Chain A
Amino acid sequence: MAQIVASNVQKVFKTADREVVALKDIDLEIARGEFVCLLGPSGCGKSTLLNAVAGFSLPTGGVITVDGKPVQGPGPDRGMVFQEYALFPWMTVAENIAFGLQVQKKQKAEIAATVSQLLEMLNLKDFRDRFPKDLSGGMRQRVAIARVLALDSPIMLMDEPFGALDALTRRNLQDELLRLWERLGKTILFVTHSIEESIYLADRIVVMTYRPGTIKRDQRVDIPRPRDPSGHAFNELKRELGRLVMEEQQRHADDEMKLAAVD
């Protein structure tokens, strides 16, 4: 049975002088343990959909359920990794990872054990007492992933988590994420605008349209892992998805020109 179900989801943002339909008629089912990427240009509503699943911003129509229960707000059963890391800068690496567990009032010894294990798992041992300002972007994102893993939530939501990283660090963290996913069996919903990233990572890629955000294509990726980005099947799919995404990107660009002309 599907773990995350979105049925007929709408999201309308109202501003003083206009309405923007960010999401329209979204029907999506994600199975337990599945790795799904939401792919599209900026403005396609992929982050809006993710935030709706996270419970930060509820849909204006339709319903999203997780394990059969409607989403009504944010919660530790759906851990979120943000593009801006969102680590608490006044806490050390270890304190950041421990925070979610302290919130759940876990025993001290249990917290210490989980934190040590995660520091080990994400190669952060030498950084446990550092503050986030002393870490590189890649290291910060490792801490953010560890912080979410500490919650032991079945679902991980990731909002362009590697978007701000350089290409090499990015590949490195993608591999690490895949390793963790295979080992821990989490369900991952991952937002990206990188076609290559989505093909490298996902079981399924959901391509979204530019305003209103609808599902343009629900694409299964059957290339066996580890995937070779220079392989034939990879590039075939890249070309195909590239065509779909660029159509939407073009609509986005046209729209921006129009808005600029009005102003």
Chain B
Amino acid sequence: MTTKLKALCEGSAVPLLLIVVWEAVARAGWISPIVMPAPSAVVVKWWEALMPAAAYDPTSQSRLAWALSGEMVHDAFASLYRVVVGFLVGAGLALPIGLLMGANKRTYALLNPLVQVLRPIPPIAFIPLSILWFGLGNPPSVFLIALGAFFPVLMNTIAGVRQVDGIYLRAAYNLGVNQWTLFTRVILPAATPYILAGVRIGIGTAFIVVIVSEMIAVNNGLGFRILEAREFMWSDKIIAGMLAIGLLGLAIDTGVSRLNNHLLRWHRGLEH
């Protein structure tokens, strides 16, 4: 307990000091609040954006709907929705293609050159095309996110299938499996540690892409909100938005990591 407490004190010493200095500098008026607002102002803005704007009115809405009616909550849901849909599309395509490419040499030979050409192009570079193809709103955003999630999941799935230890295949053949059972009950589970590592990278990429895509094509979401705040030079709101983006990213990564640990509870040497 005491060592834990000590570690906590040590870990928070530098950030706390930084915040105190930052606050002092801002209050002393050495820096314009447009360039760097005080941390207290950021926290106030953050809280304002999180809380419902209007008073609770039981005739028009439920208490839950009211509690979630804050601007930041709406934006977070909008961003999360795009990440989830984009990721599901991207990973949903990458998984079967990766399984096929990993297991079948011919499919690999056919598709690999294309993959190698497209993979190094950052999803961000597809922004102009995505607007030409899909217009404005959610579709181009989902497309870019799907693209960002696709390649990490694909590459890891291929590697995962290829590294399956031959001893499992021999044991399975010895037990009399057919190809389908071998694939679903042996190769797929044996490849899951790799696939899930790809999923985690893919979700991370999806989250980067969602913020960028919201700055170009839509009018809600956490990425849109900080760009909007810039137009009014609301620096405190920009930083509050960044804080929200960081917290959402942390929440997503923690969730994925929990899911990984559950799915890989059979696996030796769990990591976070």
Contact = CB atoms under 8 A, between A and B. Distances in A.
A104 B176 contact: yes
Contacts of B175: 76, 79, 99-100, 103, 147, 151
B80 interface: no
Interface string A71-82: 001111011101
Interface in B229-271: 265-268
A262 B68 CA distance: 77
Nearest to B264: A90
Contacts of B268: 89, 133
A34 interface: no
Contact of A86 (B168, B181, B192): B168
A99 B185 contact: yes
A136 to B, nearest CB: 14
B181 to A, nearest CB: 6
A223 to B, nearest CB: 32
B165 to A, nearest CB: 8
Given A89-B267, A89-B268, A90-B190, A79 B177 contact: no
Contacts of A100: 175-176
Given A88-B189, A90-B266, A75 B176 contact: yes
Given A74-B173, A90-B192, A84 B267 contact: no
Interface in A77-113: 78-80, 82, 84, 86-91, 99-100, 103-104
A56 interface: yes
B169 to A, nearest CB: 10
Nearest to B170: A56
A186 to B, nearest CB: 15
A252 to B, nearest CB: 25
A36 interface: no
A52 B92 CA distance: 41
A89 to B, nearest CB: 5
Given A56-B170, A80-B171, A82-B167, A88 B186 contact: yes
Nearest to A74: B173
Interface in A44-88: 54, 56, 73-76, 78-80, 82, 84, 86-88
B194 to A, nearest CB: 13
A131 interface: yes
Interface in B152-167: 167
A56 B170 CA distance: 7
B189 A86 contact: no
B267 A133 contact: yes
A102 to B, nearest CB: 8
Contacts of B174: 54, 56, 74-76, 78-80
Contacts of A99: 175, 185
A10 B233 CA distance: 83
Interface in B185-199: 185-186, 189-190, 192
Nearest to B186: A88
Nearest to B263: A90
A137 to B, nearest CB: 14
A76 B175 CA distance: 5
A140 B247 CA distance: 44
A103 B267 contact: no
Contacts of A76: 174-176
A227 B46 CA distance: 80
Nearest to A151: B175
B265 A82 contact: no
Interface string A107-121: 000000000000000
A80 B167 CA distance: 11
Given A86-B167, A88-B189, A90-B189, A103 B266 contact: no
Interface string A127-150: 000011100000000000001000
B265 to A, nearest CB: 7
A89 B167 CA distance: 12
Nearest to A100: B175
Nearest to A77: B176
Contacts of B170: 56, 74, 80, 82, 86
A127 to B, nearest CB: 14
Contacts of A79: 174-175
12 contacts: A74-B174, A74-B176, A78-B174, A79-B175, A82-B171, A84-B167, A86-B171, A87-B171, A90-B192, A100-B175, A103-B175, A132-B266
Interface of A: 54, 56, 73-76, 78-80, 82, 84, 86-91, 99-100, 103-104, 131-133, 147, 151
